[in-house]
Amino acid sequence: MKKHLKHIILLSIGLILINVVSNYFDTKIDMTADKRFTLSKTSVKVVKQIKEPVQIIVFLKGDFPSYFKRLANETENLLQDFHQENPHIDYVFINPLEKGDDYVKSLIDKGLQPAQISLQKSGKMEQVLVFPWAVIKQGQREMPVSLLTKAYAQSIDDQIEKSIENLEYALTNAIHLMTAKKQQKIAVIKGNGELDDMHIADFLRSAGKKYRLAPFTLDSVATEPVKTLLDLQDYDLAIVAKPTEKFNDSEKFVLDQFLMHGGRLMLLLDAVKAHKDTLMYHGKTYALNAELNLTDMLFAYGVRIKPELVKDLIAAPVVLKVGQIGNKPQLEQFPWFYSPLAQPNTKHPIGKNLEMVMLDFVSPMEMLKNKTQKTVLLSSSPKTQLVGVPTEINFDEIGKKPDLTKYTAGTQILGVLLEGHIKSAFNHRVKPIKVDNTLENGESALIVISDGDIIRNQTDKGKPLELGFDKWSKIKYDNKQFLLNAVDYLMDKNGVISLKNKEVKLKFLDQNKIIAELRFWQWLNLLLPLFLLGLTAWLFNYWRKRKFA
């Protein structure tokens, strides 16, 4: 008996020591297959670089359904890991509804739109606001971060799963941008008939939350070519949004050398000129070659935009007036095959978790063989038809059954990422501008989309609408998130964007099965512990009788 007592005392002392030691060491073992609870090396690198206090305010606190609680718990686990890596990072969870209507309104005014959900309270269904947002603060600067990924046409469980997958990227990227010593700059190229600010306002507003944006005109190339090139090289990214006027060789040379010296480019180009506004007002328009004089430059980089139009059976609708009752026009939606719904490459970080992107009068692209690495970002469905130009486009085909034998052109490339070793378009050519340090090739990246309207937002009563939202059909497409992902990818020099490829497989309960087997599991949970307790007592008594009889 004394021997057994000695063993019990030693075991108790051991357990006490383990608990005391564990209080001084915050360690854990991640046994999940997807390493959900392990920070990536990229996140650790970003977090450890922080030298000044950062506060993260998370608004996921309150009485809401289990799926939002799951998102809140995953967010807290991630922030605990951040704090463990760097104590400069602190966080707090608050319930904005407890702070009053004025506080809630201030969040909405900052663009933190709440999710409205139904919650059962006291036997009644009530509408509750949930703010799936975080705000990162450092000094006087702050940056909002959406914790809920907008995944259309998915169940709430799928949406939460995608949101949890995106958590580490969203927070790490925001911390990286917030704490960067120098804010990255984007040049919005002007001077060649690009879209005006009103029609790219929503993109500018969204990108401006992360980066510094400024207009940059190429007109000064004519008078101060060297200064123009040097000024542009002060930017990290240049965006050319739907130019309509021809580029001369000097302007092309400035963009080319900007790229060769490590600058990034985003070219949103219409190879075919067709006006949808004219089509809507007059019922017809003419499609002509845009003649931007960029073919040779794109050819050198490894891509060619064909002067044709893609008609796709998977397309966005057009809303037309079909009649009128009193003073109210009768509107109806018709499929419009000149507005393809492009499929993002969901295996790439830019297209991860995105739905369709709406394009207008888009042209097919061809990738050429060279040393540059190429990745297709946007593509059509296989049911396409190619239309040459010049041609007349009208609404005569609206309502008619399409001839399927003509839609056999196959899947078309509509957007390409080119990165790595890029050869200059002016390699072995006479340079239009004499500047020092002209490069024949360089290491950089650019994105080419064969439709300038991908960045164009609609307007209503003189105000810009959200990019990707069609006010006529009331359908929202993923244009904005695709372009913001593209900008993040081009600007990323620390590999943070690679975190978007993280996959998390959550095990959700089958709600129908829960309801069907509710009574069984209730009785099992009640009776099984009593049975096990009784069995243990019987076995213990049986052992005592055998031992001491």
Radius of gyration of the chain (CA): 30
Q: How many CB atoms lie within 10 A of CB 90?
A: 15
Q: Determine the straight-line distance between the first and last CA of the chain, rounded to whole angstroms.
A: 15
Cβ neighbours of residue 187 under 8 Å, at least 6 residues apart?
214, 215, 216, 232, 235, 237, 238, 239
Pick from 414, 484, 489, 480: nearest CA to 444:
489
Q: Pinpoint the alpha helices (H) of 283-334.
A: 295-301
For CA atoms 500, 506, 132, 44, give the dihedral sign.
negative
Could you give the angle at the alpha carbon of 184 between the alpha carbons of 195 and 50, nearest 5°? 150
Stretches in the chain below the pLDDT threshold 70: 1-12, 15, 19-37, 118-126, 151-154, 501-515, 549
Which residues are paired to 323 by β-bridges? 330
CA atoms within 13 A on the CB side of 138: 16
* 8 Å CB contact between 193 and 220: no
Q: Cα–Cα distances in Å, from 343 out to 269, 378, 485?
A: 18, 6, 15
* 8 Å CB contact between 488 and 352: no
Bridging pattern class, strands 264-268 and 237-241: parallel
Which residues are paired to 144 by β-bridges? 135
Q: What is the pLDDT of residue 153?
A: 45
Domains of the chain, CATH where assigned: 30-179 (3.40.30.10), 185-498 (3.40.50)
Q: What is the pLDDT of residue 263?
A: 95
Q: What is the pLDDT of residue 307?
A: 94
**CA–CA separation, 519 vs 127, rounded Å?**
30
- pLDDT tens, 123-167? 666 677 888 899 999 888 888 988 888 755 457 777 788 888 888
Q: What is the pLDDT of residue 339?
A: 94
309 exposure class (CB count in 10 Å sphere: 0-12, 13-18, 19+) = buried
Q: What is the pLDDT of residue 428?
A: 84
Q: What is the pLDDT of residue 151?
A: 58
The pTM (predicted TM-score) of the whole model is 0.80
**CA–CA separation, 233 vs 257, rounded Å?**
9
